[in-house]
Structure 1
Amino acid sequence: MSAQNSQGIQTLLDAEREASKIVQKAREYRTKRVREARDEAKKEIEAYRAKKEAEYKKFEAEHTQGNKAAEEEANKEAEARIAEIKAAGQKHQDKVINDLLKAVFEPQPEPLS
């Protein structure tokens, strides 16, 4: 009976070692799958990010063109108004200077009421 018990214990130990190997392989497989899943997710995220970045740049380019055109038109209008003001200033410069000098050198005081 002792030999039979010893053989039974040995069989149990062998089964336990085999089960341990199976569990270890399962852990390794699971770790490998988790790594693969993480890598796949990173690739998908990068692809999605690149796609959205391209869409954003396209959107920005389309809408920036409109802003640039409006900005250029506003600058042209502003330059035209500045030119008009400068021309008017040049045209009436002598009269304004004479009026200012006359007001300084020939005061006409008025009584306060």
Structure 2
Amino acid sequence: MSAQQSPGIQTLLEAETEAAKIVQQARQYRIQKLKDARTEASKEIEEYKKTKESEFKAFEASRAGTTSNAQAAIDKETEVRLEDIAESYTKNRDNVVKKLLDRVVLVKPELHRNLKKVEG
């Protein structure tokens, strides 16, 4: 019986080594597929990133003119306001100085309003 068992065992051992080879090939295939998928995903990510960057640059370029126009308008408005302030200063300077001097020099002595209430 050992002679019959020996070819059966030998066949099982050969089948086991063949199965191990198939499993190893399947693992290598799976690993290669994962690497390919990662590479493909990286390429897609780079393409998407380039697309979005170009869209952003186009958007930024379209808005850059608007920003410079707005800045120019703000600068012009600031100049106009500064000129108005300077004109108002030169026009009202003498009146303000006169009013300040009148308040300081022309003193009208009178009792404090709280003091009047106490006496009254």
Q: TM-score range by the shorter chain?
A: 0.7 to 0.9
Task: Give runs of aligned pairs for residues 1-113 of structure 1, distance below 5 A.
Answer: 1-108=1-108
- How many pairs are equivalent? 112
Give the 4+ runs in structure 1 shifted more than 6 A.
109-112
Q: Distance in 2 between matches of 1:78 and 1:109?
A: 46
Q: TM-score, normalization: structure 2?
A: 0.80
Q: TM-score, normalization: structure 1?
A: 0.84
Report the secondary structure of 1:56's partner residue. helix
Residue ranges of structure 2 left out of the alignment (5+ in a row): 114-120
Residue ranges of structure 1 left out of the alignment (5+ in a row): none
Q: How far did 1:71 drift? A: 2.5
Report the secondary structure of 1:82's partner residue. helix
Overall identity of the aligned pairs, in %: 47
Report the secondary structure of 1:107's partner residue. coil
Moved more, 50-59 or 16-25: 50-59
> Over aligned residues, Cα RMSD in angstroms?
2.0
